[in-house]
Chain A
Amino acid sequence: MGRYVLSRCRQVVPVLFGVTLITFLLIHVGLGDPVRAMMGQRSDPEIAARIRTEYGLDKPLWNQYTLYMGKLLVGDLGYSYRQRRPVSRVLAERLPATVRLAFAAMVVALLVGGIAGTIAAVRHNTLWDLLIMTLSLLGISTPVFWLGMMLILLFGVWLGWFPISGYGDGGFTHLVLPALTLGALQAGYIARMTRSALLEVLRQEYVQTARAKGLRERVVILKHALRNAILPVLTLAGIGLAELLAGAPLTEMVFAWPGLGRLLVSALGNRDIPVVLGATLLFALIYLGANFLVDLAYAAIDPRVELTKR
Chain B
Amino acid sequence: MRAVDGVTLSVRPGEMLGLVGESGCGKTVTALSILRLVPDPPGRIVGGTISFEGRDLVRLPEEEIRKIRGCAISMIFQEPMTSLNPVFTVGEQVAEGIRQHQKVSRREAWDQAVEVLKRVKISDPARRAREYPHQLSGGMRQRVMIAIALALRPKLLIADEPTTALDVTIQAQILELLLGLQEEMKMAVMLITHDLGVIAETADRVVVMYAGRVVEEASVKELFDNPLHPYTQGLMESLPRLETGKARRRLRAIPGLVPNLLELPTGCKFAPRCPKVVEQCWPTEPELREIRPGHSARCILAG
The interface residues of chain A, by DSSP majority, are classed as helix
Q: Using an 8 Å CB-CB cutoff, how does the interface string of A216-238 with B read, 1 for contact, 0 for none?
A: 10000000100110000000000
Nearest Cβ distance between residue A200 and chain B, in whole angstroms? 13
Chain A, 39-55, contact with B by CB distance < 8 Å: what is the 0/1 string? 00000000000000000
B87 — nearest CB in chain A belongs to which residue?
A227
- Interface residue ranges of A222-271 to B (CB < 8 Å): 224, 227-228
Assembled-state Cα–Cα distance A304/B131 (Å): 11
Partner of A211, one of B69, B82, B101: B69
Tell whether A32 is near chain B: CB-to-CB under 8 Å. Answer: no
Q: List residues of chain B with CB within 8 A of the CB of A125.
A: 41
Known: A212-B69, A214-B97, A216-B66. A205 touches B87 (CB 8 A): no
Give the docked Cα–Cα distance between A303 and B132 (Å). 7
Which B residues lie within 8 Å of A215 (CB)? 66, 70, 96-97, 100
Interface size class of B (residues with CB under 8 A): 20 to 34
Known: A214-B66, A214-B69, A214-B101. A228 touches B37 (CB 8 A): no
Say yes or no: A214-B85 contact (C-beta < 8 A), given A209-B77, A209-B148, A303-B134: no
Are A205's CB and B67's CB within 8 A? no
- A122 to B74 CA separation, bound complex (whole angstroms): 25
A206 at the interface (CB under 8 A from B): yes
Contacting residue for B85 out of A212, A216, A228, A301, CB 8 A: A228
Q: Which of B82, B89, B148 is within 8 Å of A213, CB to CB? A: B148
Given contacts A213-B70, A301-B87, A302-B86, are A208 and B100 in contact (CB under 8 A)? no
Residues of A within 8 A of B (CB-CB), count: 20
Give Cα distance in the complex from A205 to B35, angstroms: 15
B-side residues, CB < 8 A to A, are: 35, 37, 41, 66-71, 74-75, 77, 79, 82-89, 96-97, 100-101, 132, 134, 145, 148
A-B pairs, top 7 by smallest CB distance, nearest first, are: A214-B69, A213-B70, A214-B70, A213-B97, A206-B85, A303-B132, A205-B82
Q: Which residues of A contact B (CB under 8 A)?
A: 125, 204-206, 208-216, 224, 227-228, 301-304
